Chain A
């Protein structure tokens, strides 16, 4: 019996689209007095339900604005769904916009500790894995240079190395496999494949059907926040291809 590690149950996410963004007090008061404070409702996700067993790899397909990234953020716990629940078991590692959380004035080495702490690692764990992270990121002596002087590729490499040093139960990938140069890309893909072999559960968002087919064994297709197809990756990819024609 394989066990369910991720259960998304009737999740809906509602945003308020105010016609104009009101973010200062004066405007807010004026609009309130004039009764112009109306909000347009927008459901980025509605009634999304699926569950994943350990080791299953789900590709999420859909056109721009279909709600793919919102879904990932809800699963990662960053966004709280307006309705429905998300139940997860074990450690989730989100690989979203690598290195976005670095402090630019901090050196690479200091950021390893900071970013690691954000991801919920313990101090001992980071100390133990420090050399491995530095080695994998291929930063060498640059590790003691402030991150603001890094190239975007270096930043992404360091972010990838820190995030993947654990063995998560659930891995969230948002088109990050296109990180760095060809050599590093191969290396990072290998690392992710190793995780697959260890039975990690994956959520993967990509516009490249090829990549999704290569990496995933299940897929869902989102349109305007609803799941319109789910199941075998080949079948769903076919429907998606029809849609994009």
Chain B
């Protein structure tokens, strides 16, 4: 354990550099640069809000906040896990040359996406303020889903990055899986409006929805979090981290033979 911490300390600077690189390069050649972290969620929110309020004739004033809370969490989960999955292969040249603890690569992929995600929360604050949400104590609960989603993405990312080294098809399969997760996360519709006894299990099973639901409780509905989904999300998040870490450590010496 002590060795692990020392090792981490030694490579902390590398982790910082890799995170910095991801963020810097993401927007490097665009005119508006970092502003896109805010503009992109804002624009998609406007599109979704227009489409779906038009479609359903919804008059809910806070509907944009509803969309944004779901979409921001989903986008981070989707981008983070995708980047982590590809991280071993995209850093293959380096892995073959210099010894570096390999978990650094998926970890930095998740962290750089998390930082972009945290920055994009500014949009949520701004839209919420404009639409009349006022700060209160319930909102402090938001820190729980915001932390859990980092843990969950890291766990899922570790599992995916290990598997993707051996089965490249996973990159496509995960794209499809993410689409299913998106539709099962109730990003732009209310669960109550589509839920039937026959399909409610999809939402109950989706750990990402468990987080989105509690995030909405904190920000939008200003109520206490839903405890069963909270427990489910905690178990799932830490479970995937444990499974992912074990898988990764068991297979990491074989990575180099497959990239």
Residues B1-33 near A (CB distance < 8 A): 10-11, 13-14, 16-18, 21, 24-25, 28
A97 at the interface (CB under 8 A from B): yes
Residues B136-178 near A (CB distance < 8 A): 166-170, 173
In angstroms, Cα B99 to Cα A39, docked, is: 27
Task: Tell me which of A112-120, A130-138, A208-216, A229-237 binds B.
Answer: A112-120
A101 at the interface (CB under 8 A from B): yes
State which of A76, A114, A122 has its C-beta within 8 Å of the C-beta of B21: A114
Chain B 76-100, CB-CB to A under 8 Å as 1, else 0, gives 0000000000000000011111111
Cβ of B168: which chain A residues have Cβ within 8 Å of it? 23-24
- Do A106 and B25 touch (CB < 8 A)? yes
| 26 A-B contacts (beta carbon < 8 Å) | A16-B257, A23-B167, A25-B167, A25-B169, A25-B170, A26-B169, A77-B99, A78-B98, A78-B256, A94-B98, A100-B93, A101-B97, A101-B98, A103-B21, A113-B17, A114-B17, A114-B18, A114-B21, A117-B14, A117-B16, A118-B14, A118-B94, A118-B98, A118-B100, A120-B10, A123-B13
In the complex, given contacts A118-B94, A118-B100, what are 5 additional A-B residue pairs having Cβ atoms less than 8 angstroms apart?
A16-B257, A78-B97, A117-B14, A120-B10, A123-B13
A149 at the interface (CB under 8 A from B): no
What is the size, in residues, of chain A's interface with B at 8 Å between Cβ atoms? 31
- Do B99 and A23 touch (CB < 8 A)? no
Cβ of B192: which chain A residues have Cβ within 8 Å of it? none
Residues A29-79 near B (CB distance < 8 A): 73, 76-79
Chain A residues close to B by CB (< 8 Å): 15-16, 23-26, 28, 73, 76-80, 94, 96-97, 100-101, 103, 105-106, 110, 113-114, 117-123
Nearest neighbor of B253 in chain A, beta-carbon distance: A80
- Do B98 and A28 touch (CB < 8 A)? no
Given contacts A24-B168, A103-B21, A106-B21, contact A15 B99 (CB under 8 A): no
Chain B 182-222, CB-CB to A under 8 Å as 1, else 0, gives 00000000000000000000000000000000000000000
Residues B242-259 near A (CB distance < 8 A): 253, 256-258
Distance in Å: Cβ of B3 to nearest Cβ of chain A: 15
Given contacts A78-B99, A80-B253, contact A105 B28 (CB under 8 A): yes
Counting chain A CB atoms within 10 Å of each CB, the highest count among B24, B28, B100, B168 belongs to B100
Cβ of B99: which chain A residues have Cβ within 8 Å of it? 76-78
Cβ of B24: which chain A residues have Cβ within 8 Å of it? 106, 110
In angstroms, Cα B258 to Cα A117, docked, is: 25
Distance in Å: Cβ of A197 to nearest Cβ of chain B: 26
State which of B16, B25, B169 has its C-beta within 8 Å of the C-beta of A105: B25
- Do B166 and A110 touch (CB < 8 A)? no
State which of A15, A101, A122 has its C-beta within 8 Å of the C-beta of B13: A122
Cβ of B16: which chain A residues have Cβ within 8 Å of it? 117
- Do A15 and B98 touch (CB < 8 A)? no
Nearest neighbor of A98 in chain B, beta-carbon distance: B97
- Do A101 and B11 touch (CB < 8 A)? no
Cβ of A103: which chain B residues have Cβ within 8 Å of it? 21, 25
Cβ of B166: which chain A residues have Cβ within 8 Å of it? 23
What are the nearest 10 A-B pairs in CB distance?
A77-B99, A117-B14, A80-B253, A117-B17, A101-B94, A24-B169, A25-B167, A25-B169, A100-B93, A114-B17
In angstroms, Cα B257 to Cα A16, docked, is: 9
- Do B97 and A97 touch (CB < 8 A)? yes
